[in-house]
Structure 1
Amino acid sequence: MLSLFTLAGAVASLIAQPLAGSLSDRTRTRSGSRTPYVLGGSLLAAPVLWAMGWTQSLVVLAVLYVTSEFVLSAAQGPLAAVLPDRVPVQRRGRSSAALGMGIMLGSVAGTVLASVTSGDLHIAYLVVGCIPPVLAGSRLFLAPDPDNRSAVRTQREATATRWWRTFLVSPRTQPDFWWVLGSRGLTYTGFFMINGYSLYLLEEHIGLGADAIDMVPISAGTAALCICLSTVPAGIVSDRVGRRKVFVCAASATMAAGLLVPLIWPTLTGYLAMTVIISLAFGCFESVDSALLTQVLPRSDAYAQDIGVLNVAAVAPQILAPALAGALVVSTDSYALIFPVGALFSLLGGLSVLRVRGVR
């Protein structure tokens, strides 16, 4: 049931981010174009999350969960566009690192909060439901968006009858956009092929059996720590040297090498070594690639929409990678092939970014 919920939620996220991003680009309010969606989606999520703590029906829970994913993703899409909206190109590496840190800290804090409050689901969901609107509301006081009611509408925005066509980006005229999208999708696929099967890899490939469950939180905590350790330095150094591609390519290649460690060294030590290597590499990739993608956006009046499209390359692998890994396990009756295939995807992701011409 968890896998089905996750799949449905990911599909909702794929739809919500570019859709809300497109609407945000066209919005003119006293609070700017991003705040109505960031704050609105967070406020709508609160009662949905609260209700999840009280329902006793799987069907109702599924509807509520997918709804929460949709409205929170609708907030996340426009929020990501604040980076190209308000941060100069030469400082986007460190700002992207900060965004990456927020994602990782949220993931870790959410896991800890869930474990602490798991004894009372009513309290757990009540607390979780309060977090998005509180943090989103803080933007109104700490970093409000400027009033954009006087902004001139572009011809693209005015052509409502062909609105759906604005989601299309020509690979002929904007090849960099597509190379970055492909690079991100391939590298994420390599990472999530392993990340989605950590319990089973520890059980079967490493041979821990029932003891594997105790190693999962240790492995996850190690991964989160390593990602946080590499994210900020990579973003800062990338800004200082004025280069993005070399960091993204090196991170993808390092991840590919790290994924091969348990294949050669199928022990717990080898698995933890892989976790450290690929997590450090992924932290570097995440921060610099997020800055890189803001520099290949094809339209200055459609930042949120185009970032929403690019974010499909981050969300889709979370759906496809576990399915691909599962197919490999079923067809070979072994988990061993997951590692070289994941490494191949990561390596191809690094090579793809070399085709980008408009960014160093």
Structure 2
Amino acid sequence: MSIGTRKSGRVQTTTQEPDVRPPLGRGWIAGYAVASTGMWLAVLTPAQVQLARQSEVLAPGGKTALLGLATGLGAAVTAVAVPVLGALSDRTRSRYGRRRPWVLGGALVAAAGLLWLATASTAPAMVAGWLVAQLGLAGVQAALMSTIPDRVPRPRLGAVTGWAGMTQMLGALLGTVLVNRIVVDLAAGYVACAALAVASMVPFLFAHKETRTVAVVAARRQRVAFSPDLAWAWLSRFLVMLGFALITQYLLYYLQDELRVEDVQESVLTVTAVTVVCSMLAALVTGRWSDRAGRRRVFVAAGALLMGMGALAMASAPMWPVALGAAALVGLGFGTFLAVDLAVIASVLPSAADTGRDLGFFAVAAAAPQILAPALAVPVIAVAGYPGLYVLTGAVTILGGAAVMRVRSVS
């Protein structure tokens, strides 16, 4: 059915295509949640635990520099690869659809990189193995993220993105338990991550059905020009993720140097557990809540505000009980943000034919802060200490929440 619209004195004709997407059932959501959890486990377990351990073994005197090099280059690979691989998945035509080949292929490449890490005996081998793993995981991330706007109707976006947000924190928690309590050997931990990265994709590969008709309809939908809403949504995500990176990357040193806790490792584990549990609960609740309310922006802004309040509490009162309360605020805020921000992004994408490419640029907004955070934090700590760092963090995060309110096309 054709619909004529008038703009600037000209009539533009658009075509309303029928929604030919298969029904969205619990099996698809469960498969997505399992795959996303496995992906984040494979991303975050090495980044947060394994690479630090390996750097200490391979370069005891330069472990910090080696870890920074590996994680920085890995974030750069993600920032470049996700948009590129997302665009390639947009243009993939196969009997298995646009996304599934990239989910499977990316998981296999990621597993190969993790197995490489398990056998790496030199610093260059470690860095190379992590870059291969990141390249594969970028393919998985690009394809998985794209299936949400591909398959999920707008009224149900919050529920599904709530699950998606929860899986990031769940993957981090399960990975930490895996390599600290179950498979403590360094090489065996990498092997376990590789196996789980592949196995977790299997339910999704069977649950996700994308017919050729869906791809054709998506490709025919009208392309919409770049809009300010897209820029504001990107800026909001970038600032909030930068705030979270500033909070988490220097948590150990904050507890050690500012709070002077007796058992730093146990304290980090406790704070992390509080953050993760609160984040998971918030993600599951607020995603569905935003669907019922029919509103998105206010939830994203509220999540950023809670995170900012947590950071400001750490700056103003460096005490252990305050740190635990701040961890709860940050967790509740970050879970709320993760649950609803992706729904906002899915609503402002300019083209149904290029969702993989466009979502890839939003992945840059999440990866770039991992590189930028140390560059900002080091001079701020040198001049203003940790209170100054967390005042900056609170301001950046709250500004990220304010930016989303400028997105006019989303309620």
TM-score, with length taken from structure 1: 0.91
1:56 aligns with 2:108: no
Identity of aligned residues (%): 35
Hey, what's the Cα distance between the residues in 2 that align with 1:222 and 1:200? Answer: 18
Matched, 1:356 2:356: no
Can you list the C-alpha shifts for 1:159-180, whole angstroms capped at 9, x where unaligned? xxxxxxx9xx96xx41000000
Find the counterpart in structure 2 of residue 223 from structure 1: 275
Are residues 1:103 and 2:179 paired? no
**Structure 1 residue runs without a partner (length 5+):** 157-165
| 2:244 equivalent to 1:179 | no
| Deviation string, structure 1 residues 142-164 (Cα, Å, up to 9, x no partner) | 233334597279599xxxxxxxx
Q: Is the 8 A contact 1:28 1:148 kept in 2?
A: no
- The residue aligned with 1:199 is 252
Q: Which of the pair has the greater relative contact order for Cα pairs under 8 Å at 6+ separation?
A: 1
- Partner of 1:53, secondary structure, is helix
Looking at structure 2, the residues matched to 66 and 36 of structure 1 have their Cα atoms a distance apart, in angstroms, of 21
Note the C-alpha offset of 1:92: 0.5
CA distance in 1 between partners of 2:202 and 2:285 (Å): 29
Corresponding residue pairs, total: 346
2:328 paired with 1:276: yes
**In the alignment, is residue 341 of structure 1 matched against residue 392 of structure 2?**
yes
Q: CA deviation at 1:337?
A: 0.2
1:92/1:353 Cα in 2 relative to 1: closer, same or farther (>3 Å)?
Answer: same
Please name the residue that 2:11 is paired with: none
1:132 to 2:185 alignment: no
> How many angstroms does 1:32 deviate by?
0.3
Offset of residue 51 of structure 1: 2.3
Contact 1:19 1:74 in 2 (8 A): no
**Greater Cα shift, 130-139 or 197-206:** 130-139
What amino acid is aligned across from residue 407 of structure 2 in structure 1? V
Question: Does the 8 A contact of 1:187 with 1:349 survive in 2?
Answer: yes
Which letter maps to 1:345?
A: V
Alpha-carbon separation, structure 1, partners of 2:298 and 2:367: 24
Contact 2:315 2:386 (C-alpha < 8 Å) held by counterparts = no
The residue type paired with residue 354 of structure 1 is M
Identify the residue that residue 35 of structure 1 maps to in structure 2.
100
Q: Is the aligned partner of 1:259 residue 2:311?
A: yes
Q: Compared with structure 1, are the counterparts of its residues 283 and 149 closer, same or farther at alpha carbon in structure 2 (3 Å cutoff)?
A: closer
Match of 2:10 in 1: none
AA in 1 matched with 2:327: T
- What TM-score, normalized by structure 2, do the two folds share? 0.80
1:55–1:245 distance in 2 versus 1, CA, 3 Å:
same
Distance in 2 (CA, whole Å) between partners of 1:152 and 1:260 is 48
RMSD of Structure 2 on Structure 1 (CA): 2.1
SS across alignment from 1:31: coil
* 2:276 counterpart of 1:211: no
Q: Following TM superposition, by how much is the alpha carbon of 1:181 offset from its aligned partner in structure 2, in angstroms?
A: 0.3
Change (3 A) 1:288 1:149: closer
* Distance apart, 1:4 and its partner CA: 1.5
Give the letter aligned to residue 110 of structure 1: G
Query: Any conservation in 2 of the 1:20–1:75 contact (CA below 8 Å)?
Result: no
Alpha-carbon separation, structure 2, partners of 1:21 and 1:246 = 29
Q: Does 1:113 align with 2:164?
A: no
8 Å CA contact 1:30, 1:149 repeated in 2: no
Is contact 1:205–1:336 with CA below 8 Å preserved after alignment?
Answer: no
Is the Cα contact below 8 Å between 1:32 and 1:148 reproduced in 2? no
1:193-230 per-position Cα deviation (integer Å, ceiling 9, x unaligned):
1111001111122232x532320111111111010110
Residue 81 of structure 1 pairs with residue 146 of structure 2 = yes
Q: Is the 8 A contact 1:263 1:339 kept in 2?
A: yes
Residue identity in the other structure for 2:72: L
Q: CA deviation at 1:84?
A: 0.4
Distance in 1 (CA, whole Å) between partners of 2:404 and 2:272 is 28
Q: Equivalent residue for 2:50?
A: none
Q: In 2, distance between residues paired with 1:287 and 1:140?
A: 23
The separation in 2 between residues aligned to 1:149 and 1:93, in whole angstroms, is 22
Conserved? CA contact 1:205–1:266, under 8 Å: yes
Is the aligned partner of 1:25 residue 2:90?
yes
Q: What amino acid sits opposite 1:352 in the alignment?
A: A
Cα contact 2:74–2:131 (8 A) shared by 1: yes
Per-residue CA deviations over 1:58-87 (Å, capped at 9, x if unaligned) read: 111110111101111111111101000000
Aligned partner letter, 2:315: L
2:120·2:129 contact (CA, 8 Å) conserved in 1? Answer: no
Greater mean alpha carbon deviation, residues 255-264 or residues 95-104: 255-264
